[in-house]
């Protein structure tokens, strides 16, 4: 395959990831007309439009989507073969990395991740992206995020996955309004905070529905950030993963954890990236760092300063 062919395929991969001729030209350090010309050649080559314009986005056709995975992996393997495998050095690395997290993930996983980066004297610009559960695969495949963590189970053959930690749910409330010992009617007369399931945490909604407690929901919010402060000032209750509840209790010592009277295991938190052949040395290093940091349980559970 000629260098010109490789450049055409690289343009296709970048255009698929960025969905913009302008952004693709910027990344490839060429002009916009060059990208447009290359796209015309690619359309002739594959006998397909490949991308159609919708507003400001270049939306891939079914043919483009089928081509992207194999071509991206092939180009990554070529880059890895001709590149220097020892060229990447974590210390002093200051490139950009993107991490897909839920709001819970930001609060519980970011502190140990940032501490691990500091210990390795690495100073990347880490961009945290808030992904809905159904956006994780697309974000990783397109390269808008390098790594994602979620409780959603994504069985895509295009992704690499490993479990990070089990998820056990508990009830969290103010110590001024304690829940009775674990029993079936422990929530009689109590009202709940419900957090929407954008991040994949569907267990609380299932429990509230199955046990006829939806009518006792007093507050519905999009994020977990304000939940501990609201609990500290009210008699409300929230159903939440134990590891998150422990962090919140460190921030607000007056909060109390109570076990649920029903089976409370949910799907585990999993870490996702593209498959190994499609990862850069920096992405492989970052994946190993994150996995080590969050698996070690280095969560900040002490009082806030």
Q: Which residues contact 97 (CB under 8 A, 6 or more apart)?
A: 124, 125, 126, 127, 146, 147, 282, 283, 286
What confidence tier does 303 reach under pLDDT thresholds 50, 70, 90? very low
- pLDDT tens, position by position, 81-118: 666 555 678 887 888 899 999 888 888 899 999 999 99
The yes or no reply on domain 3-82 and CATH 3.40.50.620 is no
Residue scoring higher pLDDT (302 or 288): 288
Looking at residue 94, its pLDDT comes to 86
Q: Do 96-164+268-295 and 3-82 fall under one CATH topology? A: no
> Tokens representing 19?
């969905």
Looking at residue 300, its pLDDT comes to 43
What confidence tier does 18 reach under pLDDT thresholds 50, 70, 90? confident
Looking at residue 200, its pLDDT comes to 64
- Domain extents for the chain? 3-82, 96-164+268-295, 166-266
Place of tokens 């073969």: 81
What confidence tier does 199 reach under pLDDT thresholds 50, 70, 90? low
Q: Which residues contact 176 (CB under 8 A, 6 or more apart)?
A: 235, 254
Looking at residue 299, its pLDDT comes to 45
Strongest mean pLDDT among 54-58, 112-116, 134-138, 182-186:
112-116
How far is Cα 110 from Cα 131, in angstroms, rounded to an integer?
Answer: 15
Q: Under CATH, domain 96-164+268-295 is a member of which superfamily?
A: Periplasmic binding protein-like II (3.40.190.10)
Average pLDDT over residues 62-75: 87
Q: Under CATH, domain 166-266 is a member of which superfamily?
A: Periplasmic binding protein-like II (3.40.190.10)
Are the CB atoms for 51 and 60 separated by under 8 Å?
yes
- pLDDT tens, position by position, 21-61: 988 888 888 899 999 999 999 999 999 999 999 888 899 99
| CB-neighbour burial class of residue 305 (10 A; exposed 0-12, middle 13-18, buried 19+) | exposed
């Amino acid at each position: 395959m000629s260098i010109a062919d490789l450049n055409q395929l690289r343009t296709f991969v970048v255009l698929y990831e960025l969905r913009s001729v302008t952004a693709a030209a910027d990344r490839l350090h060429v002009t916009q007309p060059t990208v447009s010309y290359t796209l015309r050649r690619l359309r002739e080559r594959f006998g397909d439009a490949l991308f159609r314009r919708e507003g400001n986005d270049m939306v891939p056709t079914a043919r483009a989507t089928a081509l992207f995975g194999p071509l991206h992996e092939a180009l990554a393997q070529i880059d890895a073969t001709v590149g220097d495998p020892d060229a990447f050095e974590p210390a002093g690395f200051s490139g950009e990395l993107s991490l897909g997290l839920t709001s819970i993930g930001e609060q519980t996983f970011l502190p140990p991740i940032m501490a691990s980066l500091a210990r390795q004297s690495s100073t990347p610009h880490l961009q945290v992206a808030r992904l809905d559960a159904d956006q994780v695969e697309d974000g990783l495949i397109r390269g808008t995020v390098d790594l994602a963590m979620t409780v959603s189970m994504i069985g895509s053959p295009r992704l690499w996955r490993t479990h990070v930690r089990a998820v056990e749910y508990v009830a969290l409330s103010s110590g001024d309004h304690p829940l009775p010992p674990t029993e079936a009617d422990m929530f009689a007369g109590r009202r709940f905070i419900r957090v929407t399931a954008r991040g994949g945490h569907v267990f609380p909604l299932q429990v509230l529905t199955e046990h006829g407690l939806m009518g006792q929901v007093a507050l519905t919010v999009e994020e977990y950030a304000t939940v501990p402060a609201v609990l500290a000032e009210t008699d409300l209750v929230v159903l939440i993963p134990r590891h998150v509840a422990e962090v919140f209790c460190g921030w607000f010592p007056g909060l109390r954890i109570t076990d649920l009277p029903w089976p409370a295991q949910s799907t585990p938190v999993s870490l996702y990236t593209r498959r190994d052949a499609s990862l850069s040395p920096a992405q492989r290093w970052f994946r190993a760092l994150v996995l080590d940091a969050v698996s070690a349980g280095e969560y900040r559970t002490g009082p806030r300063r």
